[in-house]
Amino acid sequence: MDLNLSGKTAVVTGASKGIGLAVTRTLLAEGANVVAVSRKTTARLDELAGQNLLHFAADLMDPQAPGEAVARAVEVYGGVDVLVNNAGGPPPGVELPRGSFMDATDEDWRLMFEFNLFSAVRAIRAVIPVMLSGGGGSIVNVSSGNAHLPSPINVDYGAAKAGMNNLTKVLSEEYAPQGIRVNTVSPGPVRTEWWTDEGGVADKIAAQAGADRDSVMNAVVPELMKLSTGRMADPQEVADAVVLLASPRSASTTGAEFAVDSGFRKEI
């Protein structure tokens, strides 16, 4: 299916690995120009190098960085049609999961919201005038199932993502009549580096459970999190939903939340 993204320009945050890398790869395959935003590049992002890909090195904890990324996209490609706010998770200096609500200080909360919510707010604030001048566009915010399922081990993260879901609804109401669609994709546990890297979440759970990393991801986590599919999601599966929402083929979809979570959320 042609997603009608050829020649469009997208800004993707957190693009160097995991879900963001998969989104970048998919957009490029659909013929889009991509400004891939991350603190540094990676070998796998470098493999995608070409005239349709620009890496913009930025620390999204810097309040100026989101706007600078959007401005660079306009400078190089002439506009922005798609914004994917994918950057998220623990910011530099913060570790998850926690043991309790009491383990998060005021500074931990501030850093978590800066990275997971305020960076998206700033990127959206910068891109809306650009999209309006270009006749519209699509914004996709990558949230989390934890926005709905409160967890004391990720309390500040879940609160920030709940704020992102609320933001999506507000923006979709205000800007849909002006041609800008805003939607959310909410993953559950995904096999990203946050889980799989040495010392990552899988290793931490393995140490507690007396298991190895592969057993944790293949069996312990699916059982512990009651995943209906019996497995964690692949980043590409999340990327597919993101790119479909970014596409003009989803022209009547706005204010929606798509769960790509292996059946993590059970509520109606």
pLDDT at site 9:
98
Q: Which residue has the tokens 């810097």?
A: 62
Residue 203 pLDDT: 85
The CA-atom distances, in angstroms, between 219 and each of 53, 54, 205, 211, 236 are 37, 39, 12, 10, 21
Q: Dihedral of CA 138/245/17/28: which sign?
A: negative
Residue of 168, 164, 188, 43 whose CA lies nearest to 113:
164
The residues carrying an active-site annotation are 157
What confidence tens digit (pLDDT) does each residue in 181-206 have?
999 999 999 999 888 888 888 888 88
User: How much is the pLDDT for 97?
Assistant: 82
Q: Are 106 and 214 in contact (CB under 8 A)?
A: no
Rounded percentage of the chain residues whose pLDDT exceeds 70: 100
pLDDT of residue 7: 97
Domains of the chain in sequence order: 9-190+234-260 (3.40.50.720), 191-232 (no CATH)
pLDDT digits (tens, 9 = 90+) for 34-57: 999 999 999 999 999 999 999 999
C-alpha distances (whole Å) from 7 to each of 27, 42, 52, 131 are 10, 25, 9, 15
pTM of the model: 0.95
> pLDDT digits over 200-246, tens only?
888 888 888 788 888 888 998 899 889 999 999 999 999 999 999 99
- Quick: pLDDT tens for 120-132: 999 999 999 999 9
The pLDDT value recorded for residue 98 is 84
pLDDT by residue (tens digit) across 84-110?
999 999 998 888 888 889 999 999 999
* Distance (Å, whole) CA 201 – CA 136: 39
Over residues 168-191, mean pLDDT: 97
